[in-house]
Amino acid sequence: MAGQRRSIDLVLPHLRSLDGYEAVDPPEVLAERAGIPASELVKLDANENPYGPSSKVADALASMKDAHLYPDPAQGAMRAAVGRYIGLAPEHVVVGNGSDEIIDLLFRAVLGPGDAVVNSVPTFGMYEFTAQVCGGRIVAVERDDGFRVDVDGVLAAARDQGAKIIAIASPNNPSGNLTPREDIERLLGSGCLVIVDEAYAEFGGASVASLVPERSNLVVLRTMSKWAGLAGLRVGYGLMDVELAEVLMRAKPPYNVNQAAEAALLASLADADALMERVRLIVAERTRMHGLLEAIPGITPLPSEANFILCRLPSGKARDVHERLARRGVFVRYYARGVLADYLRISAGTPSDTDRLIAALTEALQA
Ligand SMILES: Cc1ncc(COP(=O)(O)O)c(C=O)c1O
């Protein structure tokens, strides 16, 4: 009888078998695992900003008066502020519940069942995850041994598979390297929607956002999670062709960015100079951490244009070192599988975070 059908039988088959996204655990869970108070954690596993948001954000949240009203579905104030910050007309901007939501909106707008996304791996997991959610198909093209995008390989895969989307994180998570503008220009020649995810752009200083008005198939993603310390409030944006932006504005959930996130974004952009001072501190700490890591026998840190460093460990050691660090309350990102099995990704934190990391890592490698 139809009335007795199980809800799971109604779910699309490709979603029934979906692996969930491997997200990071919150501090209280990590603290319990390490058996220490959350205040003593060294949390370097999610590329968060150790200095938190601008102090202007707390003021803006405290003076929010209209929480009983829906936020502006047209995102008027946010689109104007982001447009000013980036130097583009507001019509190019779409704001999301994190840039993750912009990935979701773009993929839903473009991918039909079975359509291909070319992914330049290893990279941020959200492109593969979202392609799967949308019933699309991921075509993975390996980066070279310096984690550079194999531009010829990506172009060939896009052509052979009739791909709709090419996704490139620049700087790449987890390798930290930028993709040169010439390579992005070549990828744009494919005619695919080329998504350049610049979540870490403020730490590296390079961006292709200025190409957006002249290159209709380019989308640039940015986020307030990293440089502005707003990961917990969820606000990011996409910069894209005006017609595509109009489609996303119509197709998105109407109130996708809540008022607290909106207030935080506006206060942060008004305080961008102070936030960029902290970005400079984080970049300086990344440089110091790189030197200290390099001095530990067996560790090879890669150069980075982001707020984290990917490190190669002696073969077969990464799992054990990751566990030993966690027992000492130091959390870094471990990948378990594939080409990254011997690597750990470590976010740049405060100077005292780095000192505790280096002490724990030295001990863990000696044990
Ligand atoms: C490359 C990349 N893009 C996007 C995101 C997610 O950004 P948001 O917090 O805006 O969803 C991350 C987060 O780690 C990332 O590494």
Q: Kindly report which listed range (12-16, 70-74, 89-93, 355-359) carries the lowest average pLDDT score.
A: 12-16
CA atoms within 13 A on the CB side of 335: 21
3 has a pLDDT exceeding 70? no
Q: Which residue puts its alpha carbon closest to atom 7 of ligand 1?
A: 99
Asked if the 61-271 domain carries CATH number 3.40.640.10, the reply is yes
Residues sharing a CB contact under 8 Å with residue 307, sequence separation 6 or more, in sequence order: 47, 49, 200, 203, 226, 282, 283, 286, 347, 348
| Tens of pLDDT, residues 199-252 | 999 999 899 999 999 999 999 999 999 999 999 999 999 999 999 999 999 999
367 has a pLDDT exceeding 90? no
pLDDT value of residue 81? 98
Cβ(173) – ligand 1 distance below 6 Å: yes
Give the DSSP letter string of 146-185.
T----HHHHHHHHHHHT-SEEEEESSPTTT-PPPPHHHHH
Residues sharing a CB contact under 8 Å with residue 251, sequence separation 6 or more, in sequence order: 105, 108, 109
* Range 325-347 average pLDDT: 95
Rounded Cα gap, residues 84 and 262, in angstroms: 16
Q: Kindly report which listed range (24-38, 180-194, 291-305) carries the lowest average pLDDT score.
A: 24-38
Query: How buried is 38 (Cβ within 10 angstroms: 0-12 exposed, 13-18 middle, 19+ buried)?
Result: middle
Atom of ligand 1 at shortest range from CA of 101: 11
What CATH superfamily classification does 2-52+273-366 receive?
Aspartate Aminotransferase, domain 1 (3.90.1150.10)
Atom of ligand 1 at shortest range from CA of 99: 10
Pairing type for strands 236-239 and 93-96 reads antiparallel
pLDDT-derived band at 23, boundaries 50, 70, 90:
confident
41 CA distance to ligand 1 middle (Å): 22
25 has a pLDDT exceeding 90? no
Domains 2-52+273-366 and 61-271 agree in fold: no
Coil vs helix vs strand at 291:
helix
Rounded Cα gap, residues 264 and 239, in angstroms: 19
Residue 290 corresponds to which amino acid? H
Cβ(179) – ligand 1 distance below 6 Å: no
* Structural domain spans, the chain: 2-52+273-366, 61-271
Cβ(99) – ligand 1 distance below 6 Å: yes
Token pair 């490190």 in the structure block, residue: 311
* Range 12-17 average pLDDT: 92
Q: pLDDT averaged over the chain?
A: 96
Look up the pTM and report it.
0.97
Rounded Cα gap, residues 309 and 283, in angstroms: 11
The radius of gyration of the chain's CA atoms, rounded to the nearest angstrom, is 21
Residues sharing a CB contact under 8 Å with residue 248, sequence separation 6 or more, in sequence order: 94, 102, 105, 106, 109, 238, 240
184 has a pLDDT exceeding 60? yes
| Tens of pLDDT, residues 32-61 | 888 889 888 999 999 999 999 999 999 999
Residues sharing a CB contact under 8 Å with residue 193, sequence separation 6 or more, in sequence order: 106, 110, 164, 165, 166, 217, 219
* Range 134-154 average pLDDT: 97
223 CA distance to ligand 1 middle (Å): 7
Cβ(231) – ligand 1 distance below 6 Å: yes
Chain-centroid distance of CA 221 in Å reads 9
pLDDT value of residue 178? 98
Rounded Cα gap, residues 280 and 284, in angstroms: 6
197 CA distance to ligand 1 middle (Å): 8
Q: Which residue puts its alpha carbon closest to atom 16 of ligand 1?
A: 173
| Tens of pLDDT, residues 292-313 | 999 999 999 999 999 999 999 9
β strands within 292-359, DSSP E: 300-301, 308-312, 330-334, 343-347
Share of the chain above pLDDT 70, in %: 99
The count of other CB atoms within 10 Å of the CB of residue 100 is 20
Rounded Cα gap, residues 286 and 116, in angstroms: 36
pLDDT-derived band at 2, boundaries 50, 70, 90:
low
Is the Cβ–Cβ distance between 199 and 226 less than 8 Å? yes
pLDDT-derived band at 286, boundaries 50, 70, 90:
very high
* Range 270-286 average pLDDT: 98
| Tens of pLDDT, residues 165-174 | 999 999 999 9
Is the Cβ–Cβ distance between 92 and 213 less than 8 Å? yes
Residues sharing a CB contact under 8 Å with residue 284, sequence separation 6 or more, in sequence order: none
Which token pair is 98? Answer: 């994190």
Cβ(199) – ligand 1 distance below 6 Å: yes
pLDDT value of residue 24? 85
pLDDT value of residue 277? 98
Query: How buried is 42 (Cβ within 10 angstroms: 0-12 exposed, 13-18 middle, 19+ buried)?
Result: buried
Please give the backbone phi and psi of residue 30, each rounded to the nearest 5 degrees, phi first. Answer: -65, -40
256 CA distance to ligand 1 middle (Å): 17
Atom of ligand 1 at shortest range from CA of 235: 10
Cβ(175) – ligand 1 distance below 6 Å: no
Is the Cβ–Cβ distance between 342 and 313 less than 8 Å? yes
345 has a pLDDT exceeding 80? yes
366 has a pLDDT exceeding 90? no
